[in-house]
Structure 1
Amino acid sequence: MASVDASAPRRGTGLQSLERGLTVVAAFSREHPRMTLSEVARMTGLTPATARRILLTLEELGFVRCEERRFSLTPRVLSLGWSYLSSLDLWEIAQPVMQDVAGRAGETCTAATLDLPDVVAVARATTRRIMTMNLQVGGRLPAHATAMGRVLLADLPEAELERFLATAALAPLTEHTIREPAALRRELTRVRRQGWALVDEELEIGLRSVAAPVRGADGRVFAALNLCTSSGRVSAAEVHERLLPGLLDGADEISAALRRRQEPPVLRLAP
């Protein structure tokens, strides 16, 4: 989970208790799934007394549990994310289009948005194929090593892209992963020019994916549509010749629907 700096100066008239509560929730992560009161206080920079009050409040609300003096998040925390996703409404437009793209391609179709340094899957349409990309809605992948991420990164404002390239840890996930900022910038320039991205075994050996941009009424890319396949089963040439045209058509269809609605681009999860 991304951290929140409780000691950072607040702007405007923010509610300090809410800020501190979110700081505590954000302190839990894969590396720190269960923590004592002292550990939470140290991780957040809060006093033990303040951390204790917040943890007890979160426990009372059902967002935290305590076992053997160690606190951990409960599944109820997911309701915060579901509230965001379920308040959005593009799923009604995107779902049938994605299902059609997936059906014609015979591969899983995923939509994702950017939450630097990752992409977050917000919608998914599967096929009957036994072996599919195991990325569920809400799952995260590093933006620099995914086709979806590169489509989204390529449309970032220049200043924001510069900050990302200057600070991001471009982890070498495979021997093929682009790990140098200059090389990634060149690839993003190519993606921006051609209007789609192909990533070949950079995220995982044996995995090949292609992504296309979904644009809102303002023309900006706010989501990426992706098809993922096995590199041993489908060649890069076949991805380009057979999968890419349908993917581009699907992304354009969703984008056109958004332009007709003239509303902010958003995504809804399937019921």
Structure 2
Amino acid sequence: MTAVNSGTIEANPLLPGTGRNESLRRAFDLLELLARHPHGASVAELCQDSDLPRSTVSRLLASLFDAGAVSRPGNDRKWVLGPTIMRLTNAVAPLAGLQERSREVLEQITTDIGETSMVAVPTGPATARVIDEVRGPKLVGVLDPWAGETISSAASGFVRMLLAELPEAELDRIISRMELVRHTPKTITDPLLLARAIEDIRRQGHVVVVDELEDGLAGLGYPVRKGGQLVAMLAVYLPTIRFTPELQSKALAVLERGARELGD
């Protein structure tokens, strides 16, 4: 089963503006690729990974180099993330070190559950970015990688969990501006039904989404809090046929334990 990353967005309708800068987006895409190459990547490797022409990659790297966002410290002409990125990373709170700390937690979740696990952080009132994932060992599972994806679909458990954090007036305003896309016959596209689903999340303290983002895909998510504030979300995703009541109960306990390790 392949998970369709249909929540990925280029321009978020919840953050209106006069337009988007395509070069800036591509520059950040390169930074994401470099983050996956801790020992550096050549221009050729970045061209292959990004599907961008060499001239575009070279131009973007030159601009990022001028800003200190990338560097080429060795003699092998490989590019790495630069000091500006390091400073910005260290300045992020309360998320500093979250991705590094979450890797061990995700590996334990996947070991315990035997399914794909992931962690996401809020990027807006109704958008989240998956910062890491650990793939499950089974042949049938979530095939498309989600790490690095920004998700805005209300059919995503991550987005619904964020909506559940909002005051009622803000929630109504956000829902009224969202495009409720029907990904499957079971996707909730009625604002009133979505509001009820969000109320269930508030009452239960976690989110369950089944066959809404993609047919045959189910997921369970749990919030990570620091000082009462939601700073991240843990989740497991798997084929619906394996999403039994027994697995849900076990997954909820494992995710709750992982959230405690990452949070307060």
Give the Cα–Cα distance (whole angstroms) in 2 for the partners of residues 85 and 243 of structure 1: 34
Question: What corresponds to 1:233 in structure 2?
Answer: 242
Rg (Cα) greater in structure: 1
Contact residue 143 and residue 153 of structure 1 kept, 8 A: no
1:213–1:251 contact (8 Å) kept in structure 2: yes
Q: Once the 2 structures are TM-superposed, how far is the Cα of residue 202 of structure 1 from its aligned partner?
A: 0.4
Q: Per the alignment, do residues 149 and 135 of structure 1 end up closer, same or farther by CA in structure 2, a change over 3 Å counting? A: farther
* Match for residue 25 of structure 1 among 19, 23, 28: 23
Contact 1:111 1:124 in 2 (8 A): yes
Aligned-residue offset at 1:149: 1.9
- Mapped to 2, the partners of 1:197 and 1:124 lie a distance apart of 18
Structure 2 counterpart of 1:39:
none
- Number of the residue aligned with 2:62: 61
Task: Give the superposition deviation at 1:144.
Answer: 1.0
Structure 1 portions without partners, runs of 5+: 8-21, 29-54, 64-75, 257-271
Percent identical among aligned pairs is 27
Question: Which aligned runs of 4 or more in structure 1 are off by greater than 4 angstroms?
Answer: 82-87
In structure 2, the CA distance between the partners of 1:86 and 1:239, relative to structure 1 (3 Å rule), is farther
Residue aligning to 2:229: 220
- Amino acid in the other structure paired with 1:125: V
Aligned to 1:252: 260
- Please give the root-mean-square deviation of Cα atoms over the aligned residues, in Å: 3.4
Return closer, same or farther for 1:173/1:24 CA change in 2, 3 Å cut-off.
closer
Query: Could you report, residue by residue, the CA deviation over 1:4-57 in whole angstroms, capped at 9, with x for unpaired residues?
Result: 7459xxxxxxxxxxxxxx7453688xxxxxxxxxxxxxxxxxxxxxxxxxx9xx
- The answer as to 2:199 corresponding to 1:189 is yes
The CA deviation at 1:196 is 0.3
| 1:130 aligned residue (133, 136, 139) | 139
What code does the residue aligned with 1:93 have? R
Contact 1:121 1:137 in 2 (8 A): yes
Q: Name the structure 1 match of 2:75.
A: none
Determine the C-alpha separation between the residues in 2 that align with 1:109 and 1:85.
27
TM-score (norm 2): 0.64
Give me the TM-score of the superposition, normalised by structure 1. 0.63
Check whether the contact 1:151–1:213 (CA below 8 A) recurs between aligned residues. yes
Distance 2:214 2:241 in 1: 13
Distance verdict in 2 for CA 1:124–1:59, change over 3 Å: closer
Aligned runs of 1:135-154 on 2, under 5 Å? 135-154=145-164
* Counterpart AA for 2:62: L
- Aligned partners of 2:153 and 2:181 also within 8 Å: no
| Structure 2 runs not aligned, ≥5 long | 1-9, 27-55, 65-78, 91-95
Residue 200 of structure 1: CA displacement?
Answer: 0.6
Helix, strand or coil: the match of 2:250? helix
Aligned to 2:129: 120
